[in-house]
Amino acid sequence: MEKVKTGIAGLDEMLVGGIPRSHNVVVMGSFGTGKTTFGLQFLNQGLTDGEKGIFITLEEDEGSIIEDARSFGWDLQPSIDDERLVIVKLEPTDALSTISRIKSDLPKFIRNFEASRIVIDSISLLNMLFDNEHEKRDNIFALTQMIRDTGATCLMTAEVNDMNPMASRDGLVEYTTDGVVVLQYEEPKDKGEIRLTLRVVKMRRTNHSRRVRPYTIGNNGILVHAGADVF
């Protein structure tokens, strides 16, 4: 089984080399856990490895995404100029036209662009475009299927349920994807420094570590401290 590196030191070791190619993986976590950074780091690793990538965003516009990456030392502009990277901004306030883009233009575009890495930041905001449970669910299934058909490795970020940090806001995507990485914000009892922790809860067709690992977000992005246990 061929693996693609996430570019996140420590995590690739936990995944015995990386994410299986063509997998569809969700990264779940509350605000401030670094989900967007995770997506950018994954994409940047692909660009470094000569792959093409698409970053689909509903939160920030292209300029902010480029700045986000630059603050970690990743320069996306050359890849954009070389047409090896496209940042697609979907408008969360214009549901009808955005849904239409998702259903018709985007699939065509993704197929034609032949990206091998796709990031969707975030599937939770994307799902908010749909009015009811049925449509949300159909969207997740259709999107997942469409991306699966392209053979690209896909990483989606997802917000978590306010009451349960081990469940996504919609409670579905963690069941339909091939892999789930959970990022958590944990407060120790002594109220000192907050800890960020990472778990690989699910990864189909490969072995993976099931340890709880601390990570930090520093000048070079996310770093999983694979040698250290939490607390």
Sites of contact with its own copies (CB under 8 A) = 1, 30-32, 36, 59, 64, 67-68, 71, 92-93, 95, 122, 124-125, 128, 131, 134, 137-138, 141-142, 145, 159, 161-164, 166-167, 171, 174-176, 180, 185, 187, 190-194, 196-197, 199, 201-202, 204-207, 209-212, 218-219, 229-231
Minimum CB separation of residue 50 from its own copies in Å reads 26
Q: Is there a contact between 28 and 158 (Cβ–Cβ < 8 Å)?
A: yes
How far apart are alpha carbons 185 and 157 in whole angstroms? Answer: 16
Backbone angles phi, psi at 5, to 5 degrees: -70, 140
Minimum CB separation of residue 183 from its own copies in Å reads 12
Which residue, 86 or 146, is less far from its own copies as judged by CB?
146
Q: Is there a contact between 6 and 211 (Cβ–Cβ < 8 Å)?
A: no
Which residue, 49 or 71, is less far from its own copies as judged by CB?
71
With b meaning 16 or more CB within 10 Å and e meaning fewer, what string describes 120-131?
A: bbbbbbbbbbbe
Minimum CB separation of residue 180 from its own copies in Å reads 6
How far apart are alpha carbons 218 and 200 in whole angstroms? Answer: 21
Minimum CB separation of residue 153 from its own copies in Å reads 14
